[in-house]
Amino acid sequence: MTVDWIAVDWGTTHLRAWLIGGGEVTCLRSEKGGGGLAPEDYEPALLELIGEHLTGPAPVIACGMVGARQGWVEAPYATVPCKAPGVGEAIRVPTQDSRLDLYILPGVSQASPADVMRGEETQIAGFLAAHPKFDGVLCLPGTHTKWVHISAEEIVSFQTVMTGELFALLSEQSILRHSMGDGWDDVAFTGAVSDAMSRPQAIAAKLFALRAGSLLGDPDPGMARARLSGLLIGLELAATKPYWLGQELALIGAPDLCATYATALTAQGLAPTQHSGDDLTLAGLTAAYASLKETA
């Protein structure tokens, strides 16, 4: 296979590269996320993953934490309102190995309320490449869930909520970890969503009740995980109501997580569509490559 170009998604905890050429796509993965790398470590880490497949000089288009201040080279944020950044906003980074022609896409920032994204803007670009007329809200659930208002092909504003990180910390590291069973049901989940949305101020008190309930012989301890998730997503929906209320809504992310959010949002009367985050990352990088070829 002759490699025409390479798409790279480089987050804090993972590195993925797609080698693309002659109608074929090969996806390679590495655990060398940017979180553990100094700037000089990036090029060797990338070559370790893709070096043997390189057939000659090729464009490499990368997104994610690789462009953060503590990444390979900083790609300064585009600022809302703006289009999802493409190759025109990318920075070109010199490399030791002349086979790499590297472009790093910038993230997007918002001055007030202060907010940032890196990586999600490329998924948004991928979504808008397929749905250029979309006018509404994108929700990208994950460690740091993004809510993004899209209008006239631009990112108008966005809002980050730390629901995924809070869930991980509380379910794995806090006292609540002792009460987390493997059980799940949507009734426990949507009940907790509804509780948190109707009385968000009570959430601080409802969390410890998950632990106390299991100590005092809660008849259904397996539901604590669903209830914790529901409380946190309910608090998120209460915070982001100005985003989603009455809007066309699309979910972008891991299928399981999107399905969980879809359950919560459907109970609020919405009908969100669901889209694979991985697919849209590649679609966004592909759109950037297409415009690079056009301008070449």
Chain residues that interact with a copy of itself, rule: CB under 8 A: 69, 109-111, 113-116, 144, 159-163, 165-166, 169-170, 173-175, 200-205, 207-209, 211-213, 215-216, 218, 232, 235-236, 238-241
Nearer to a copy of itself, 50 or 226 (CB): 226
Residue number, 207 or 287, with CB nearest to a copy of itself: 207
Complex with a copy of itself: residue 60 or 120, whichever CB lies closer: 120
DSSP lists the bridge partners of residue 177 as none
Measured N-to-C along each axis, helices 277-295 and 120-130 cross at an angle, to the nearest 10 degrees, of 80
Give whichever of 100 and 235 is closer to a copy of itself, judged by the CB atom: 235
Backbone φ and ψ of 107, nearest 5°: -85, -170
Q: How far is the CB of 290 from a copy of itself (least distance, A)?
A: 30
- The sign of the CA dihedral 86, 87, 88, 90 is positive
Count of CB atoms situated within 10 Å of the CB of 16: 18
Least distance (Å) between residue 91 CB and a copy of itself: 17
Shortest reach from residue 223's CB to a copy of itself, in Å: 13
C-beta of 114: minimal distance to a copy of itself in Å?
Answer: 4
Query: Residue 23 or 217: which CB sits closer to a copy of itself?
Result: 217
Alpha carbons 250 and 148: distance in angstroms, whole number: 10
Least distance in Å: CB of 204 to a copy of itself?
A: 4
